[in-house]
Chain A
Amino acid sequence: MSDVPLQAARRMALPSWATAPVVAGGAIALFWVVTLFTVHWWAPYDPTALAGMRFSPPSAEFWLGTDALGRDVLSRSLYGVRQSLPIAVAVIASSVVIGALLGALAGYIGGLADELVMRAADVTLSFPPILLAMAVTAALGPGLRNAAIAMVIVWWPIYARLMRAQVLSIREREHVEAAIASGATPSRVLFRHILPLCWSPIIVNATMDFGQIVLLAASLSFIGLGAVPPTPEWGQMISEGALHFYRWWIAAGPGMAILTVVLAFNFLGDGLRDVLDPRSR
């Protein structure tokens, strides 16, 4: 079929990835990133200071009410992004680096290294993620830093598996064989000729996992293994709200915060998946 007029029409329309969910997700994500860097300039109250009466319901003064200590829920919810986003970024980045490195070595060297790494990955992936994260955090001692370490321990195998599969398929390509034949050292082949081509599925997956990590971090804090009071952390705030759940507004702010962040990244991930796997549309 000759598609000349069709192609012209397509070129004029929006790019195919700019679907409503992707745009909405991007906008929400952008809002939170901006908040992360600027919240101290415009938040209505100090997140840890007593701002008013205890348990004030939402009002013109306190848009989302105050909590059991009279702190402003809105300000605390906004400040919460300073815990969640940096932790999620750190966890994703560390998991990607560790996982990708181990996966690449496993795929490239093979043999015993492959066995060790992949069996460790198998075992780690045999646990429900939160359970393992809880156990590790409990063993290391509660706290956000240890919770982050636990999440990396839970998450690295996903990228290790991905990376290994990528390396295995790319090392068969001609340009790699040519490099080997021309006498390049194994490390040069791996770092110069294989790894640069391996990243795209890893990055896509990392984007899609981001919301999950935010959720997991909040869950650990909710359980009491992550952030410690009075830090304004969303999961921790919800667990305070649960104690007084007739005062619904205490948990409403942090809950909406988690929901919007996770939804935003799920929208982005969904859009990304549509672009990469057109079959799913």
Chain B
Amino acid sequence: MSVDPLLAIRGLTVSFAGRSGTLLPAVRGVDLTVGQGEVLGLVGESGSGKSATMMAVMGLLPAAAMAGGSALLRGEELIGRPERFLRKVRGKRIGMIFQDPMTALDPLLTVGDQIAEAIRVHDRSTGRHAAFERAVELLSAVSIPSPRQRARQYPHEFSGGMRQRVVIATAIANDPELLIADEPTTALDVTIQAQIMELLQRLCAERRMGLVLVTHDLGVVAGVADDVAVMYAGRVVEHGRVGDTLREPRHPYTRSLLASLPRVDRRVQMLTAIAGAPPSLGALPSGCAFHPRCPLSLEICRHQDPPAREVGHSRAACHRAEDVPALMPLHGAAL
């Protein structure tokens, strides 16, 4: 096996072209690493740049967006590579799972055809029949009952949870090394969410796939991930092993996320627990982007964007990382 990590992102930037030629920075120099067979939880509010980061890795950013920096898949550069190269990576070496299974499947093709397509675009030698058989196996691998009949059905004949299983089956069709799951359970019923997460965990373990789990839910990350990276306004503000980082976060934003966690409706609570709203791309604050909402902000925070550095068990981008545990204690064990 290669010594290169599965996925190494260094200094990744993504900018969207604004209407009048301005560039809106969505991702501002992200560093992330995912090891072989490991699960990285990528956490942040919507607009924090976590989805844009992963789309840049896939080379699927919209035409109006530009990516810079580097993303190495086992040492091979993905950023700025031609479409021909990226096509051989997508679906083959990196599988992708989407947020809303209701819209991620083509309504006019049977689910079997859609899974088979993922196989056949990468291996022309697989015949229609063989690809269909493989699709049936995959449906059974994601625990869909009577897969042979189901493979001939259309997406509208499936429930939301079942559709997400189909999306997962498509993503793992070519035994990729890495899975990217963009909020895979957000659109599902609460009871189904746990089943899908369990399925994802099982598949990753069985197939030794790395997983980037993009989510805004620290609770999910705590239960599933090996590493966690917290993004805010286009930067990774904290990155470390899950256990250590969540036990003793070094960034006030991670703290605030954790503090807002153990409630019934997490999404709503998260917004209200942290004062203020996340900044818009067009009007980022000077210095540390979090300072207007930060309870610990100092003068320096307004002028200087803190670099990420090793503090305690994690890597945090905060001028006051050393002081955070003492100044923002976690009340009770949230996790």
Contact = CB atoms under 8 A, between A and B. Distances in A.
Contact of B19 (A2, A4, A10): A10
Nearest to B279: A2
Contacts of A10: 19-20
A5 B281 CA distance: 12
A5 B20 contact: yes
Nearest to B21: A9
A4 B19 CA distance: 12
B282 A9 contact: no
Contacts, number: 22
Contact of B281 (A1, A4, A9): A1
B19 A6 contact: yes
A6 B280 CA distance: 13
A168 to B, nearest CB: 32
A190 B281 CA distance: 50
B22 interface: yes
A80 to B, nearest CB: 45
Contacts of A172: none
B145 to A, nearest CB: 41
Contacts of A5: 18, 20, 22, 282
A6 B23 CA distance: 11
A174 interface: no
A191 to B, nearest CB: 44
B283 interface: yes
A55 B197 CA distance: 84
A260 to B, nearest CB: 34
A2 B283 contact: yes
A214 B20 CA distance: 41
Interface in A1-24: 1-6, 9-10
Interface string B267-290: 000000000000011110000000
B17 to A, nearest CB: 11
Interface size class of B (residues with CB under 8 A): under 10
Contacts of A6: 18-20, 22, 282
A1 B283 CA distance: 8
Contacts of B281: 1
Contacts of B282: 1-6
B47 to A, nearest CB: 9
Contacts of A4: 282-283
A10 B20 CA distance: 8
Contacts of A1: 280-282
Contacts of B18: 5-6
B76 to A, nearest CB: 35
Contacts of B19: 6, 9-10
A278 to B, nearest CB: 14
B20 A2 contact: no
Nearest to A10: B19
Nearest to B20: A9
Nearest to A1: B280
Contacts of B280: 1-2
A242 B20 CA distance: 53
Contacts of A3: 282
A277 to B, nearest CB: 20
Contacts of A2: 280, 282-283
Interface string A181-206: 00000000000000000000000000
Interface string B4-19: 0000000000000011
A277 B281 CA distance: 29
A4 B20 CA distance: 12
Nearest to B281: A1
A201 B19 CA distance: 30
A103 to B, nearest CB: 37
Interface string B206-225: 00000000000000000000
Contacts of A9: 19-20
A4 B22 CA distance: 12
Contacts of B20: 5-6, 9-10
A114 B22 CA distance: 55
Q: Which 5 A-B pairs rank lowest in CB-CB distance, beginning with the nearest?
A: A9-B20, A1-B280, A2-B280, A2-B283, A6-B19
Given A1-B282, A3-B282, 16 more contacts: A1-B281, A2-B282, A2-B283, A4-B282, A4-B283, A5-B20, A5-B22, A5-B282, A6-B18, A6-B19, A6-B20, A6-B22, A6-B282, A9-B19, A9-B20, A10-B20
8 contacts: A3-B282, A5-B22, A6-B18, A6-B19, A6-B22, A6-B282, A10-B19, A10-B20
